Amino acid sequence: MRYSEMFLPTGREVPSDAEVISHQLMIRAGMIRKLTSGIYSYLPLGYRVIRKVEQIVREEMNKAGAQEVFLPMVQPAELWQESGRWEYYGKELLRFHDRHERQYCLGPTHEEVITDLVRNDIKTYRQLPRNLYQIQTKFRDEVRPRFGVMRCREFGMKDAYSFDADEAGAEASYEKMFAAYNNIFNRCGLKFRPVEADSGSIGGKYSHEFMVMAESGEDAMIVCDKCSYAANLEKAEAGRPKKVDSTEKDWLILESVHTPNVRTIEELSDFLQVGPQDIVKTLIFNADGKPCAILIRGDQEVNEIKVKNYLGANELTLADDEMIMQATGAPRGFAGAVKIKTRVIADYSVMNMINFVTGANKEDYHLKNVNIGRDCEVESFADLRVVGKNDKCPRCSGNIQFVRGIEVGHVFKLGTKYSKSLKASYLDKDGQEKIMIMGCYGIGIGRTVAACIEQNNDANGIVWPIPLAPYHVIITPVNVNEGDVLKAADKIYNDLQAMGIEVIFDDRDERAGVKFKDADLIGIPLRVIVGQKNLISGNVELKNRKSGETKLYPLEKIVSEIKKNIDEGLEQGIATTHAGGKTPCSRI
RNA sequence: CGGGGCGUAGCGCAGCUUGGUAGCGCGCCUGCUUUGGGAGCAGGAUGUCGCAGGUUCAAAUCCUGCCGCCCCGACCA
């Protein structure tokens, strides 16, 4: 394409409302424009990159045996009521009604629609397994959209859904997708890592997030430096300590202490001159409307997701003042397990504590020398805390690192959550009706593009890896007013085009500096510089955007050299992971 | 939802305290010169100052309400 004919508005100024580098560069490079909060238009350059990602995704999904469909974005409320999510999905689900007052929503995801499709048309085990996917616009009414297309409300997503006859089949489907995802992100040229993720109420190990490593990432995770264990911080396991039996001899006399206006662990620790590790925090949660006390050592933090999963709650929030008052008989800040009127669950960190300090369930009082078994009871102990810096790998006891990442993909075994509520069943060999086992698999397309920029940029702009580059080559004639320069550049352009190579011909009558800056900003991997000086000896320059390396090539060789460079760049990402293969090919 | 900030030309911003003709840089248009890392000179175009109301002889500026956008938080015994 001739630059002079392109819609490619680049900008020198950093947009004032863009915080992260990918957002800034996508705007400056003329890839996206914001229409309104969390809703973006893709311009030609940006959309080309989107299509590159989509194409890689398509190829790998097809290779893994999935079939592409295209489902509606507008979905009837009835279907969501049937699955139960009309009530539970919350405000992220954008709801509206038509002229007949019928209720609809914009699809934030498509489990309902796909399950409806499959239940109507798949009747027998002979038609299973099936894996259907689509690449489609989703709408989620995010509380706070930010970081450009990284966390936005309207976004492109590849979502796949597998339907299997039994557990073994579902596992195989999951493994296939897991492998396909490794291939996809490898081919995109990303440094990523699959990490164990929270799988909500389904439980089990069947949820992995694919995280692109980036400091600006919104997700925290831990990575073991010895074994392959990597997990989202939400999910990361804290090892279970060995139970050390204490005897009553060790227990000191329970003491009530007047602690006026001392509420936080910090204040309490100061006031009583004890360490936070000698205090037991008592948090009152509201689990589906019922209070529940969670005990944890004062220097640890509760992981709400673990609590939610442990309790099997649909909704979990910290209790409000009223509920705390009802449950403990005291205002916020003085809760304790002794004589509390709620369920009491404790984190493992509390298991071996003796003579600890805790709230007295009485305003301005705390208790010292509390002991479980004598002064209070604990229903059970569980892993409910956030993993901290001093923790070791739960698998191999190696050291763990805390890193940040951007979630670009998520594979998830759904089980029968939707097939049950929506009655997606089939007849097995014995004529028995059975519920299908489902899996779902998502990739954020736009987010993958943004994540790629987060990993690949420098002071001058984007540095595209070849597989995602909107164009592979840009030809920059230094001065288009010099006839022989323009002619030589034009010939290279035509030759490259004839070979099907994706090329921009910067034929603008601009000064060389302007064209170089733009070429760098939009990140085209290869640049051919055609200038008077080198042309005299029949040469042109080939500059590599990433390495900055420049080499001279004779005019007649430049095209084949470019072709070689591109082919190498494209091949590098082709991965070889297959379903059933062992360790994922992560390139952290 | 809570807190903070911002809304003035396509982009980045000044002006507002102390009311009185709408400003700067970049970009854009025309011409000439220039042409290997965001050129120089000369000339030019572009604004319901977010919206609505109020105060005033007079409002970008002061007051009220609304809208939009951005950031932080929504983590606690």
Structural domain boundaries of chain A? 15-237+401-454, 248-382, 464-572
CATH of A15-237+401-454, one of 3.40.50.300, 2.40.10.10, 3.30.930.10, 1.20.1560.10: 3.30.930.10
Nucleotides of B under 7 A from a protein CB: 1, 11-13, 25-27, 34-39, 68-77
Residues 15-34 (A) near nucleic chain B, CB < 7 A = 15-17, 19, 34
Confidence tier at A578 by pLDDT (50, 70, 90)? very low
In this prediction, residue A387 carries a pLDDT of 85
Asked if strand B contacts A14 at the CB level, meaning under 7 A, the answer is yes
| B76: residue with closest CA to C1' | A283
| B13: residue with closest CA to C1' | A16
Confidence tier at A579 by pLDDT (50, 70, 90)? very low
Asked if strand B contacts A264 at the CB level, meaning under 7 A, the answer is yes
Instruction: Read off the tokens for A436.
Output: 């299908």
**Distance measured from the CA of protein residue A28 to the C1' of nucleotide B18, in angstroms:** 40
Asked if strand B contacts A324 at the CB level, meaning under 7 A, the answer is yes
Asked if strand B contacts A151 at the CB level, meaning under 7 A, the answer is no
The answer to whether the CB of A135 falls within 8 A of the CB of A52 is no
Closest CA to A431 of A125, A108, A74: A125
> Nearest nucleotide to A543 by CA–C1' distance?
B36
In this prediction, residue A441 carries a pLDDT of 95
Indicate left, alpha or beta for A189 from its phi (over 0: left) and psi (-120 to 50: alpha).
Answer: left
Indicate whether A48 pLDDT > 80. Answer: yes
Percent of chain A with pLDDT over 90: 57
**Distance measured from the CA of protein residue A155 to the C1' of nucleotide B68, in angstroms:** 21
In this prediction, residue A484 carries a pLDDT of 94
| Average pLDDT over every residue of A480-502 | 96
CATH for A464-572 is 3.40.50.800
Closest CA to A386 of A400, A374, A369, A373: A400
Asked if strand B contacts A460 at the CB level, meaning under 7 A, the answer is yes
In this prediction, residue A586 carries a pLDDT of 38
| Average pLDDT over every residue of A312-329 | 80
Which of A347-356, A364-373, A393-402, A496-505 shows the highest mean pLDDT? A496-505
> Nearest nucleotide to A460 by CA–C1' distance?
B37
Which of A12-21, A359-368, A437-446 shows the highest mean pLDDT? A437-446
- Greatest alpha-carbon pair distance for chain A in Å reads 99
The answer to whether the CB of A501 falls within 8 A of the CB of A529 is no
Residues 52-111 (A) near nucleic chain B, CB < 7 A = none
Instruction: Return d(Cα A317, Cα A319) in angstroms, integer.
Output: 6
| Average pLDDT over every residue of A473-498 | 96
In this prediction, residue A575 carries a pLDDT of 52
The answer to whether the CB of A60 falls within 8 A of the CB of A184 is yes
Asked if strand B contacts A284 at the CB level, meaning under 7 A, the answer is yes
Instruction: Tell me the pLDDT of chain A averaged across its residues.
Output: 89
Residue with tokens 């089949």: A169
Asked if strand B contacts A360 at the CB level, meaning under 7 A, the answer is no
Confidence tier at A263 by pLDDT (50, 70, 90)? confident
Look at the domain A248-382 and name its fold: YbaK protein (3.90.960)
The answer to whether the CB of A117 falls within 8 A of the CB of A85 is no
Instruction: Read off the tokens for A309.
Output: 């999963």
Asked if strand B contacts A334 at the CB level, meaning under 7 A, the answer is yes
Indicate whether A587 pLDDT > 80. Answer: no
**Distance measured from the CA of protein residue A349 to the C1' of nucleotide B22, in angstroms:** 66
Closest CA to A469 of A506, A528, A523: A523
* CB within 8 Å of A384: residues ≥ 6 apart: A294, A296, A302, A303, A306, A307, A310, A345, A346, A347, A348
